[in-house]
Structure 1
Amino acid sequence: MKVLKKHNRNPLTQSGFSVIELMISISLGLLVLLAVLEIFSASMQGVHLQNNFSRVQENGRLATELIVRDIRGADYWGCIDDISEISNHLDTSPSSGYNPSILPTAGHAINGQNDVTSQTISSVNVIDNTDILTLRGATSISGVKINAPMSATDETIQVSISNSIPQGHVILISDCREADLFSNTEQTTSTNAQIGHAVGTLSTGIDNVSSNLSHTYGEDAQILSPYTKVYFIGENNSSSNSLYRADNGVANELVRGVNNLQLMYGEDTSGDGSINIFTATPTDIDQVLSIRVSITAESGDNAQGTSLERTYNTTANIRNRTLQ
C-alpha cells in the first residue's frame, strides 16, 4: 500500500507580490481608469455639444418661422388693398379705452424701430440695440359668413355662424369697395345669427359713435378680426433673453434663448413694383415689399461651458403687397 507523504509548508519559503510590483500594478490600474474617465468625459462633452447644437438650431428656426409667417400675412384687410380705406366707427375718446396703436387706425400696416434703447412693451424690458417689428392686418373669423345682403347702412348684419362672437369684439367688415371698423353690439350672435353695430354703452369693449356703415354690404363681404402683432427681444423671468410677441397689447414669451433681432426692409423706391434697396430705415414704410430678418439664438447651457450661438437670416415677402 502506497503511503502519501504530507509536505510541510514553511511560511518563510512562500513568495507573493513585492511592494514594488504592487505599486506598479496600482499605477497601471490608475492609468487605465484615467483613460476610461477621459473617454467618458469626452463622450459626455460630445453629448452636451450635440444637445446644445440641436437647441440653438431649434430656437433659431422656430423664432424665424414665427416672424416670417406673420410678415407674409401682414397688411391683409379683405378685398381692399389700402388701410386708409377703412372707416372707423369706434369711440376714440381717451375714456373709452381706445388704443390706436393696436388697431388699424394707427396708420401703417407695418412699422419698424431700429436699435431701440430703454423701451418697455407690456411690462417687458426690451433689450437695447435690438429692433422692434409691428405688423397689422385682419384674419377671418372661423365659421362666419354673411347670408343676406344689408338693405340699409344701420341694419344688423345677418350671418351664418357656428361660434358666438363676444359682445364688444372689434370687427372689420370688408368688400372690394371699402371696409368698416366697429364693435359688435349683439350679445348672442350664435343664437340671433346677426352682428350689430349700434350706438350705445357696452359693458365691455369700445362703444360705436355711429351705427351707419360706409355702405351696405352683400354676401360677398368678409367678416374679419383685426390684429396688431409686435415682435421684440425682451428680458424673461430668468434674466435671460427671449423672443416676445405682443398680441393686441398683451406680451407673450415665444422662444427662449434668442438674443437679437435685426431687420432690413426691401423698399420699392422707384414705384415700379420691385425692390430697389434694403435698408434699416426705409423712407416710405408703405412701399416696403419684403423684410429681411436676422435672428441670433443661443443654447443657453452656460453651466457646461459649451454655450453655442448662431445667427439665422431669411427674407420674407409681404404677400398682400407683392401679389397685387
Structure 2
Amino acid sequence: MKGFRYRQSGFTLIELMIGLTIGLFILLGVVMVYVSSARSQATSESLARVQESGRFATYMMAREVRQAGYMGSCPGSVNNLLDTSSSHYVEAFFDLDSPIRGWTGSAGALSSHLSDYLRGDVLLITHAARSTNLKAKGATPANAASISFDGDATLAPQGSILLISDTYGCDLFQRANSGNGALARGAGTGGKQPGNVPPKTPWSHDYKDDMEINRLNAMVFYIGEGPGGEPALKQYLVDPALGGGKTPLGIDTVLVEGVEEMRLRFGIDADGDGAVDTGLDGFVAAKDVADWKQVVAVQIALLTISGGNVLAGVEQELYWPFDSNGNSTPDKVIAGDKSMRSVFTTTVSLRNRLP
C-alpha cells in the first residue's frame, strides 16, 4: 500500500502578528475593565467611609449637645462646693450655669489640656446626665459631712465630681472617700483635684431620700491626632477620678477617624423667648458670643476625608455652609490632594434651654 505523505503547515509571520495584535487588544480590554472596576470599588468604599464617619460624628456630638446643662431636678443655679482656689480648678469644666462654650480656630483656654490639637473650632459641653444608680439612705441635714446611700458605687469612685439635686436646689462636690455606704465631701480626695471647700461648709439645704445623685460630665470635642497621626474627631473627657496624684482632670479618646476639620456657630437667644434670634446675629462664631448663658442651639459642620488617591483626574467641589468667621456666606473647601471629602452639617437645640 502506497504511504501517504503529510504536508507540514503552520502560521505565517503575518498571521502570527495579526493574532498577537488581536490578543493584545483583548488583554487591554480586560485590564481596562479590571482597573475601572477597582477604581469604582475604591470610590464606593471611600464614599461609604466619609458618609459613615460624618453621620456617626454628628450623631455623637448632637447627643451630648442636647443634654448640655442637665442638672437633674435642680430648679435653679448650682451651689458649687468645689475648691475654686485650686490651681487645677478650671471654671469652664464645672460651670453648669454656662454648660456650652466654644473657641474659634484654636483651643483657646484649653490649650494646656489639648496637647494634640490640630485645627478648627473647639466645643465644650457640660451636663450631669450620667446617673450613678445610687439611692440616698435617709435624710441628709445641711450640716452633714456625707450622704448615706444604698447601691454599688462603681459609677461614683473616689475623685469623681457629683451633683446631688432635688426640687429645692442642688450641690456640686468631689467625692473624697471610696467604697460603698457613704459619699463624703471632705477636703481630701485621694490626691485627685480640685478638691472641696472645708467640710464644715453646709449643703445648700436639707435633703430627703428622694434626691438624685448624678455624675458630672464635661467633655471637649476637637480635631486632634488619630492613631496614625492623621486628623480625627477626639473627645477630652474631664474626669478627675481617672487621673492620679495631681494630674488634672481627664483623658482624651479618638471618637471618629477621618474627620479633618470642624466649624461651629452658636444660636443666641438675647430676648429670652427660648428661640434663636432672627437676623444676621442669630448664629455667630464662638469668638462673637458675648454671654454663653444665651446660647440655645449649635450648628456643627464637619469635614470628613477618606484618604488615598481615589479622585485622580477629578476635581471635587465642596462648600462649608458658613465661613471660619461664622458668616453665612458659603466657603469653598480647598483641598491639596485627591482624597474624597464630604461636609456634614447639623443644627442641635439645647433641650434644657427650651421653654
- Normalization by structure 2: what TM-score? 0.79
Which residue of structure 2 lines up, in the alignment, with residue 64 of structure 1? 58
Pair 141,274 (structure 1): closer, same or farther in 2 beyond 3 Å? closer
Partner of 1:279 in structure 2? 284
Moved more, 86-95 or 40-49: 86-95
Where does residue 184 of structure 2 map in the other structure?
196
Deviations 1:92-116 (A, max 9, x none): 3336x434343237x6211111222
2:173–2:185: 8 Å Cα contact kept in structure 1? yes
* Deviation for aligned residue 1:304: 7.7
Offset at residue 160 of structure 1 (A): 1.7
Q: Distance in 2 between matches of 1:111 and 1:141?
A: 23
1:60–1:258 CA contact under 8 A, matched in 2: yes
Q: Is the 1:122–1:251 Cα contact (8 Å) retained in structure 2?
A: no
Q: Distance in 1 between matches of 2:227 and 2:276?
A: 40
* 1:5 and 2:2 aligned: yes
Q: 1:237 to 1:167 in 2, by over 3 A?
A: closer
> Is the contact between residue 107 and residue 122 of structure 2 (CA under 8 Å) also seen in structure 1?
no
Name structure 2 gaps, 5 residues minimum.
Answer: 239-249, 313-337
Q: Output the CA distance in 2 between the equivalents of 1:81 and 1:42.
A: 63
SS of equivalent to 1:187: coil
Q: Is the contact between residue 132 and residue 231 of structure 1 (CA under 8 Å) also seen in structure 2?
A: yes
Identity of aligned residues (%): 30
Cα distance, 1:185–1:240 mapped onto 2, change above 3 Å: closer
**How far apart are 1:270 and its partner, in Å?**
2.0
Matched with 2:81 is 89
Q: CA deviation at 1:91?
A: 2.7
Change over 3 Å in CA distance of 1:196–1:55 after alignment to 2 = same
Give the conservation status (yes or no) of the 8 Å contact 1:113–1:133.
yes
Deviation at 1:152, TM superposition (A): 4.6
Change (3 A) 1:289 1:117: closer
Structure label with greater radius of gyration: 1
RMSD, aligned CA: 2.3
Whether the aligned pair in 2 keeps the contact of 1:122 and 1:250 (CA below 8 Å) is: no
SS at match of 1:56: helix
Report the equivalent of 2:101.
111
Q: Deviations over 1:39-87 (max 9, x none)?
A: 11101101000000000101111111111111001111112255xx222
Letter in 1 for 2:219: K
How many Å separate the matches in 1 of 2:290 and 2:146?
A: 42
Amino acid at match of 2:174: S
Match of 1:44 in 2: 38
Partner of 2:168: 177
Tell me the secondary structure at the aligned position of residue 43 of structure 2.
helix
Take 2:114 and 2:276, find their aligned partners in 1: how far apart are those partners? 36
Q: Return the TM-score normalized by structure 1.
A: 0.86
Decide whether aligned partners of structure 1 residues 113 and 123 sit closer, same or farther in structure 2, where only a CA change above 3 A counts.
Answer: closer
- 1:51–1:34: structure 2 CA closer, same or farther, 3 Å change rule? same
Gaps in structure 1 of 5+ consecutive residues:
none
Q: Is the 8 A contact 2:72 2:165 kept in 1?
A: yes
Cα separation, 2, equivalents of 1:303 and 1:160: 58
What does residue 263 of structure 2 align with? 262
CA distance in 1, matches of 2:13, 2:198: 103
- 2: CA distance, partners of 1:195 / 1:227: 18
1:177 to partner: Cα distance: 2.1
CA distance in 1, matches of 2:292, 2:265: 12
Report how far residue 136 of structure 1 moved. Answer: 0.8
Task: Give the Å deviation of 1:237.
Answer: 4.8
Q: Aligned-pair distance for 1:178?
A: 1.9
Going from structure 1 to structure 2, the CA distance change for 1:282 and 1:117 (only over 3 Å counts) comes to closer
* Match in the other structure for 2:71: 77
State the SS of the aligned residue for 2:215: strand
Amino acid in structure 1 at the alignment position of 2:95:
P
